[in-house]
């Protein structure tokens, strides 16, 4: 089992997550018990960053991230340029029915679709967001066909929502890793460069209390939208931001059977990212990993884990998934592996091939 991933710890600190650890309690609702049996999940990170082809989702606009510096500058653009990628994001080949069907045959139990990452772009026409599919040329609700495909093929439908919204915060946060903020102000070293949306040195004010309250309200409105506009949802995956049990309570008031992770509130399960537990955690736990591989390495020699689409389109073998799932299942822990569609929405053929290979291994 791998040691703790320090790059992930740094990201979590930058996102305002609680450093002292997470709190989770298994749900009592009978329709939520499906999650705790050592299940296999598929996560789907996709968005406007895919247009670039060599860019991490959201983090590609943050300068000087230490875990992928061997890859710079090809993997970095200024936020102002990053958000312009939306003008070229035309997902006219988005057909989740194809890959959801293959995932079901390969033994997956649930899917988590990134409906909004930290960049603030919503993959559904959100009334609470000025930046999303409804404001750019693609113009298509991408969330609805995903939920419908899960329902058709018997998979549990999960939705990822980011409490941080860097597009909303763009006037009051630094886009340099050592000084980035947007939660309660800047972090880390006081002499670190402060960069604006064009990656130029700037004087940037800390967010006001009113700004923070508005961002929280908008996040709650987005929760309400996805849980009232798309029928049954089975899982919510929050990622970062200030501790917000009100978000959890709102979600459960709308769909009481939901399973919710514990990154942003006291939810039902904990998760490790890009590392495996070294012993039985004794609670519900999901390990999330990139199925995709990257040709670049971190300072400690391990490969950079990239959650966004890469034009190289290379993936770990199906046997890697099967073996790690077997190990985790013995402890009742879930394995959730990430895939990334092409800019036009098509799932890379290599992913479809890996799904069929995994199905053969499960037979």
> Which backbone phi and psi does 269 adopt, to 5 degrees?
-150, 150
SS3 of residue 336 by DSSP: strand
pLDDT higher than threshold 60 for residue 20: no
Query: Lowest-pLDDT range, 120-134, 203-217, 313-327?
Result: 203-217
Q: Which CATH superfamily is domain 6-362 in?
A: Glycosidases (3.20.20.80)
First to last CA, the chain: 26
What pLDDT, on the 0 to 100 scale, is given for residue 275?
84
What pLDDT, on the 0 to 100 scale, is given for residue 130?
94
Share of the chain above pLDDT 70, in %: 92
Q: Name the pTM for this structure.
A: 0.95
In the chain, what are the domain boundaries?
A: 6-362
pLDDT band for 163, please (50, 70, 90 cuts): very high
| Residue tagged 């609805």 (tokens) | 144
What pLDDT, on the 0 to 100 scale, is given for residue 235?
98
Averaged pLDDT, 2-14: 62
Average pLDDT, the chain: 92
Q: What's the pLDDT tens digit per position in 22-71?
A: 679 999 999 999 998 899 999 999 999 999 999 999 999 999 999 999 99
Q: What's the pLDDT tens digit per position in 68-98?
A: 999 999 999 999 999 999 999 999 999 999 9
Q: What is the largest CA-CA distance in the chain?
A: 60
| Residue tagged 């559904």 (tokens) | 124
Query: Lowest-pLDDT range, 114-128, 136-150, 223-237?
Result: 136-150
d(CA 80, CA 84): 7
Taken as a whole, the chain contains a residue count of 363
Task: Indicate the DSSP class of residue 61.
Answer: G
Share of the chain above pLDDT 90, in %: 77
32 neighbors 327 (Cβ within 8 angstroms) = no
Q: What's the pLDDT tens digit per position in 199-233?
A: 999 998 888 999 999 999 999 999 999 999 999 99
What pLDDT, on the 0 to 100 scale, is given for residue 6?
60
What pLDDT, on the 0 to 100 scale, is given for residue 360?
97
pLDDT band for 300, please (50, 70, 90 cuts): confident
Averaged pLDDT, 292-309: 91
- Nearest residue to 219 (alpha-carbon basis) of 284, 162, 260, 276: 162
d(CA 320, CA 81): 36
């Amino acid at each position: 089992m791998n040691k703790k991933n320090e790059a992930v710890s740094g990201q979590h600190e930058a996102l305002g997550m609680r450093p002292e650890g997470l709190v989770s309690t298994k749900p009592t609702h009978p329709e939520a018990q499906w999650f705790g049996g050592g299940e296999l999940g598929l996560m789907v990170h996709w968005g406007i960053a895919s247009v670039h082809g060599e860019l991490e989702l959201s983090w590609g606009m943050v300068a000087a991230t230490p875990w992928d510096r061997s890859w710079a500058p090809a993997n970095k653009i200024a936020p102002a340029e990053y958000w312009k990628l939306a003008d070229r994001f035309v997902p006219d080949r988005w057909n989740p029915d194809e890959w959801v069907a293959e995932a079901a045959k390969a033994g997956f139990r649930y899917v988590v679709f990134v409906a909004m990452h930290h960049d603030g772009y919503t993959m559904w026409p959100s009334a609470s967001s000025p930046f999303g599919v409804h404001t750019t040329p693609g113009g298509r609700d991408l969330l609805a066909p995903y939920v419908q495909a899960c329902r058709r093929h018997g998979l549990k439908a999960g939705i990822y929502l980011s409490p941080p919204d860097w597009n909303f915060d763009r006037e009051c946060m630094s886009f340099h890793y050592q000084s980035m903020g947007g939660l309660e102000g800047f972090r880390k070293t006081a002499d670190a460069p402060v960069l604006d949306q064009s990656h130029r040195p700037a004087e940037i004010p800390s967010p006001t209390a009113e700004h923070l309250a508005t961002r929280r309200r908008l996040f709650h409105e987005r929760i309400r939208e996805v849980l009232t506009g798309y029928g049954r949802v089975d899982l919510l995956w929050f990622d970062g931001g200030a501790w917000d049990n009100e978000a959890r309570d709102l979600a459960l008031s709308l769909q009481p059977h939901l399973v919710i992770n514990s990154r942003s509130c006291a939810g039902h399960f904990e998760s490790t990212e890009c590392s495996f537990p070294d012993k039985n955690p004794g609670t519900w736990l999901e390990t999330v990993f990139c199925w995709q591989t990257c040709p670049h390495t971190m300072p400690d020699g391990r490969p950079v884990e990239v959650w966004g689409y890469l034009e190289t389109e290379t993936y770990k073998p199906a046997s890697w998934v099967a073996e790690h799932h077997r190990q985790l299942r013995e402890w009742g822990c879930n394995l959730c592996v990430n895939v990334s569609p092409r800019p036009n929405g098509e799932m890379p053929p290599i992913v479809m091939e890996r799904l069929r290979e995994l199905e053969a291994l499960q037979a």
